[in-house]
Amino acid sequence: MFDLAVNELLVSGMLLSFIALLFLGVPVVWSLAGVSFGTALIALGLHHYAGADTHFLDSWRDYSIIVPRIWSIVENGVLVALPLFVFMGLMLDQSGLAETLMREFAATLGRFSGGLAVAVILIGILLAASTGIVGASVVLLTTVAMPIMLEQGYDRRLAAGVIASAGTLGILIPPSIMLIIMADQLALSVGELFMGALVPGILLGLSYLVYVVAAVSLNPALAPRPANVTPLTARGLLRTFLAVMPPLGLMVAVLGSIFAGIATPTEAAGIGALGATLLAFANGRLSLTVLYEVARRTTLTTSFIFGIFIGATAFALVMRALGGDDIIAAGLHSIPFGSTGVVVTILIFAFIAGFFLDWLEITLIFLPLVGPVVIGDLGYDPIWFVILFSVALQTSFITPPVGFSLFYLKGAAPSEVTTPEIYKGIIPFVIIQLLIVVLIISRPEVVTWLPQLVYD
- What is the model's pLDDT at position 54? 47
| Residue 373 near residue 333, CB atoms below 8 Å | yes
Q: What is the pTM of this model?
A: 0.85
Largest CA distance in the chain: 86
Mean pLDDT by runs of 10 across the 456 residues of the chain is 66 84 81 84 70 49 68 77 86 82 82 87 84 75 88 91 90 86 87 91 93 93 78 81 86 85 86 90 89 91 84 81 76 80 88 79 84 86 93 88 83 88 93 94 92 77
pLDDT of res. 338: 80
- Residue 442: its pLDDT value, please? 92
pLDDT of amino acid 1: 39
